Structure 1
Amino acid sequence: MKQRVITGLLAGVLYLALLWIGSFPFAFLAAAIAVISYIELAVMNKMSATSPEVLLGAVAVLFIVCSALFSPSVLGPVWPRLVTLLALLLVLFNVMTKNRFSFAHSAYLFLSVFYIGIPFHLLVRVRMESLALILFIQILIWTTDSGAYFIGRRLGRHKLAPYISPNKTQEGSAGAVIAALAAAFVFQWIIGQPLFDSWMQLLGAALLISIFGQVGDLVESAIKRFYGVKDSGKILPGHGGLLDRFDSLIFVLPLLYVLGFIA
C-alpha cells in the first residue's frame, strides 16, 4: 500500500504539473503515455514490443497524438491517405513474416492505434482549448474511481460484472455516480465561469463521464481477462500499467466528442 501511495502521488504531481503548463510539454507527456499504453496492448496479445509491426503502430500513435498541436486544416486532407497506408503496411507484414504476423494481428494493431491514439489526441486538443474543461473531466474520472472503491468496500453487496471484474459492485457504481455529480457542481461553483451552456448540460456531461468512465474500466478488464493478465504492465509499481490508469479517459473522451460536449 505504501508503494502504491508514493507512486500515485509522484505520478499525479507530474501529470498535473504538465497539464497545468499545457502546450508542448503536456503534448509530449500525453504522447508518451499513449505510446506506452499501445505497447501494453500489443504485449498483452503476445507481440514483441520491439517488433517492426508494433513499432510502426507506435509511430502512428505518436503522430495521431502530436497532430493535435496543429490546425485540422493543415493535416486534414492527408488523414485518409495515412490511414490507408497504415492498413496496407500492417497487412504487408503478413507476407514479410510468412504469416507469423497474421491478419488477425494486423487488425488488432490497427484498432489499437486508434483506440489509444484518438483519446490522447483529444486530451491534448481539449487542454489547448480549456484547462478548466480538461480538469473537470479528469477530476470527475478520479472522483468516480475513488467513489466506486470506497463506497463499494463499505456498502457493496451485489456484483456489477462478476465475470469481468469480480470486485466491482452495483452499490459502488451508484455511489461513484453520486460522488461525481457532487464533484461536478462543486467544481463549477469554484471556477465560477460556466463550462457548459446550462446546468442540464453540466449534469449530462457529469453523468456521461462517470457512467462511461466505469464502462471504460470494464472494457479494459474484459481485454485483460481475455488475454489472462492481471495488469496491463508494470511501469507504475503498485498500480500496474499506464493503460490501467487511463482506461476510463480512453473511453470517455471519444464519447464526449461524438456527443458534442467537446470539439
Structure 2
Amino acid sequence: MKQRIITGVFAGAVYLFLLWLGSLPFALFTALIAVISFLELAAMKKLRRTSTVIIIASVFVGLIVIGAVFETTSSLSAPSYFIRLLVGLSLVLLSATVLSKNRFQFEQASYVLFAVFYIGFSFYLLVHLRYQSLPLLLFVQIIIWATDSGAYFVGRKWGRHKLAQHISPNKTIEGSAGGILCAILCAIIFQSILQTALFPSWVFLLVISLLIAIAGQLGDLAESAVKRYFMVKDSGAILPGHGGLFDRFDSLIFVLPLLFLLGVID
C-alpha cells in the first residue's frame, strides 16, 4: 500500500504539472503514455514489442495523438488525417501478412488495428480537450479519480455484493454506488469553486457526472475483461504498485470517446 501511494502521488504530480503546462510538452507526454499503453496491449497478445510491425504501429499511435497539436495550428482536417493514417496502417498490416508468409496473421493484424485506433484516438481526445478547455479536462479527470477512490474505499468497508465476479472479483455493487456518489459530490464542489459554468445547468452537470462515473467503471471492467481473457494480472509493471499505464488510464480512455459522441468534446 505504501509503495502504491508513493507511486500514485509522484506520477499524479508529474501528470498534473504537464497538464497545467499544456501545449507541446503535454502532447508529447501523452503520446508517450499512448505508445506504452499500446505496447502493453501488444504484449498481452504475445506480439513482440521489437517486431517491425509493432514498431510501425507504435509510430502510428504517436502520430494520431500528436495530430491534435497540428490540428490547432494548421488547416489540418482531423477526420481526413485519421482516415489517411488508419488506411495507411491497414495497408501496412495486410502487407505484413503477405511478407511474413502469414506468420503475422489477419487476426493479429485486426487486433493491432483496433488497439491503435482505441488507444490512439482516446489519447488524441485527451490532448484535444486540453487545447479546448483546461477546466473541462480537469473536471473529467477529477470525476474519474473520485469514482475510483470512492469505489475503492466504500467497497473495502461496506462491499458485500459482487458487481462482476466473472471479470473482476474484488469489485462490489456497494463500491460502485459509493464511487458514483463520490463523483457527484466532487462535481458539485468543483463547479462551486470554479468561476464560470462548465455546463448550461446544474442538471446537465449532474447528468454528465453520472455518465462519466458509470462509463469510467465500465472502462475499468472492460480492461479487466481483456486481462482476464489473456490471463494476466496487470497490463504492465511500469508503475510499482499500480501495474501498467493501460491499467491507470483504462477509465479515461473509455470516457473520452463517450464524451466525444455526446458532443461534450467538440
Give the TM-score band, short-chain normalised.
over 0.9
> Which residue, 242, 245, 251 being the options, matches 1:242?
245
Distance 1:78-1:212 versus aligned 2 partners, 3 A rule? closer
TM superposition shift of 1:167? 0.1
2:76 aligned residue: 74
**Residue ranges of structure 1 left out of the alignment (5+ in a row):** none
Q: Does 1:170 align with 2:188?
A: no
Question: Cα deviation per residue 1:117-136 (whole Å; 9 max; x = unaligned)?
Answer: 11110100111121111000
Identity, % of aligned positions = 57
- Which deviates more from structure 2 when the two are superposed, residues 169-178 or residues 82-91? 82-91
Match of 1:116 among 114, 119, 124: 119
1:153-200 deviations in whole A, cap 9, x for unaligned? 111110000000000000100111011000000000011210011112
8 Å contact 1:119–1:250 — kept in the other structure?
A: yes
- C-alpha separation between the residues in 1 aligned to 2:237 and 2:260? 31
- Give the alignment of 1:1-263 within 5 angstroms: 1-71=1-71, 73-76=75-78, 77-263=80-266
Give yes or no for contact 2:149–2:179 (8 Å, CA) kept in 1: yes
2:211 alignment partner AA: L
The residue identity in structure 2 corresponding to 1:256 is L
User: 5+ residue gaps in structure 2?
Assistant: none
SS at match of 1:71: helix
**In 2, distance between residues paired with 1:135 and 1:200?**
19
Aligned-partner Cα distance in 2 for 1:167–1:14:
29
Offset at 1:98? 1.5
Q: CA RMSD in A?
A: 1.0
Distance 2:109 2:258 in 1: 25
Contact residue 216 and residue 252 of structure 2 kept, 8 A: yes
Cα distance in 2 between the residues matched to 1:122 and 1:79:
12
Aligned residues: 263
Distance 1:79-1:12 versus aligned 2 partners, 3 A rule? closer
Determine if contact 2:227/2:234 at 8 Å carries over to the other structure: yes
Post-superposition CA distance 1:41-81 (Å, at most 9, x none): 00000000111111111111100100001227414434423
Does the CA-based 8 Å contact 2:64-2:82 persist in structure 1?
no
- Cα offsets for 1:99-122 (capped at 9, x unmatched): 111100000000000110111101
Change (3 A) 1:29 1:219: same
Normalising by the residue count of structure 1, what TM-score does the alignment of the two structures yield? 0.98
Structure 2 CA distance for aligned equivalents of residues 148 and 104 of structure 1: 36
2:126 counterpart letter in structure 1: L
1:205 match: secondary structure: helix
Letter in 2 for 1:104: E
Aligned counterparts of 1:14 and 1:83: Cα–Cα separation in 2 = 31
Contact 1:67–1:75 (CA under 8 A) maintained in structure 2: no
